[in-house]
Every structure is written in C-alpha cells, then in structure tokens.
Amino acid sequence: MKKLAVIISSILLSSAATTAMAADTYQSISHVGYMDTDGNDTVSVDSTYYFSPKATLGPYDQFEYINKQTNVYGAYSDNDFGDVTRVGGEYFVEDFVLGAQYNNIDSDFGSSTDVIELSAGYFFNPNLVLKATFVDFEDADNHFMFDLAYNHELNSTDYIGFTVTSDDEFDYRAVAAKYFVDLQQGNYLTVEGKFEDVDGGSSNWELASNYYFSKATSVFVTVNKNDDYTLGAQHFFNNNVGLEVGYGNNWDDSDYDAYFANVRLQF
C-alpha cells in the first residue's frame, strides 16, 4: 500500500507539473502601445496569431530564439508625421519556411510608399536556418536580404542565439546575439546586442538587458552608440495581461524625453 501511495502521488505531481507548463503556452500575442517623444505622440497596435501553441521558457514574454510556428500578423502605428501598416505571415512545412509581408508607409506630407517582402528559408537542423528575402520598394531599387540564424542550446532553457544579416551586395551587414539564462530560484536574465555597418555610412551598435525577479516581473535597460538609452519595467497581472512602462533620453541632449507604455495581451 505504501508503494502504491507513492506511485499515485508521483502521477498526480507529474500531472500537475504538466498542467502548469501547458498554462504557459500561447497562440495569440498582441500589444497596444503609446509613446510621447517631445510632443510627438505615437499610438501603435500589433498582433500575431500562431497556428500551434508557443511555449515560454519561464518568463511570460520569453520564447525560443528561432520561431518554428506558422503564423499571421498585423501591425499599425500612427504619429504626427504619418502612419505605417504591416500585414504578413509565415508558413512552416517540413524543413522549409515561406513568408510574405506587405508594408504601407503613408506620410502626412502627401506621399505613400508600398513595400512588399517575399521570403524563403531552409532549416539545416532545428537550430540553424538560412533565409532569403526579396524586398520590392515602390519607385525604388529592389534587393535581396539574407539571414543566417543559429541557436546554441546550453541546456533545456538556456541558449545563446546568433543572427547574421547582409544584403545581396554586402553593402549592409549586421550581427545580432541574445543570451538567455535561468538563474534558478525564479530569476532570469537576458542580454542582447546588435552591430550594424553600412558602406558609405556609419556603423551602429545597441545593447539591451532584462532582469526577471519572477516570470511576471522584470526591469530592462537599453543603450546605443548614439548615447540613447531607455529604462523601464514590465509586470504581468496574470498569465494573459502585462503592462510595460519606460522612459528614454539621450546622454548628450537631456532635452530629449520619451515616455512610453505598452499593454501586452497573450492567449
């Protein structure tokens, strides 16, 4: 009887753990945001729907480095200078991914530009994908962009991800990296960096980090080459609703102020 009780207890605990893990999966992620930058108000909304559940790595807003779920998405933003509309999607089949995106940039000064992107990618393995994207600019030169993304799994949750990007003439080059680590005891940390270089132009870099006190509560900071920075915090009130607030400025020009808030909805 004692052995039977242990077995039953183990099954019940295993089932409870599985249920808890299943609760941290989502198929819809949306944002509603507002930013005030020296009197220029920006309102934005975006949403992505995944056709299969997308599991978190602990924090409610952290997922695997390379997405592998078929999805559709849309986004809209509006400020004092114009508005931008974006719709698109990705379709995954076996080792391939196909994507399409339409962008409309509508200026309040009378001009409107359409940009169409078509992409195709191949997974050499689940952690390595090469993607080519054809970008068709209205009334401008078209070009190809290439992305090579690699996810190095350190354990069941921790990883280091890298993405290398270039255009077809190698005039634009970029390298991005992200480190995610479970610090145990319910704490997590992310560190991200990106370096961009353009022929005939200037290079740029950006660093960002998030520290999680729990799955629901975190603080973040970003800095870049131009001495811009942001500081802020995010908190999920439950599994589905989170709020992010922050402040941005420039070290050399303290007259520049940016206040922003974003509501995050996940189901």
- pLDDT beneath 70, residues of the chain: 1-23
User: What is the C-alpha separation between 52 and 70, in angstroms, rounded?
Assistant: 7
Question: What pLDDT shows up at residue 56?
Answer: 96
- What pLDDT is recorded for position 256? 78
Instruction: Mention every residue, 6+ apart, whose C-beta is less than 8 A from residue 254.
Output: none
Question: Tell me: the pLDDT tens digits for 40-91?
Answer: 899 999 999 999 999 999 999 999 999 999 999 999 999 988 999 999 999 9
Q: What is the pLDDT of residue 95?
A: 97
Provide the whole-model pTM.
0.87
Predicted pLDDT at 15: 36
| Residue 105 contacts residue 84 (beta carbons within 8 Å) | yes
At residue 255, the pLDDT reads 76
Q: pLDDT digits over 86-114, tens only?
A: 999 999 999 999 999 999 999 888 788 99
3-state secondary structure of 2: helix
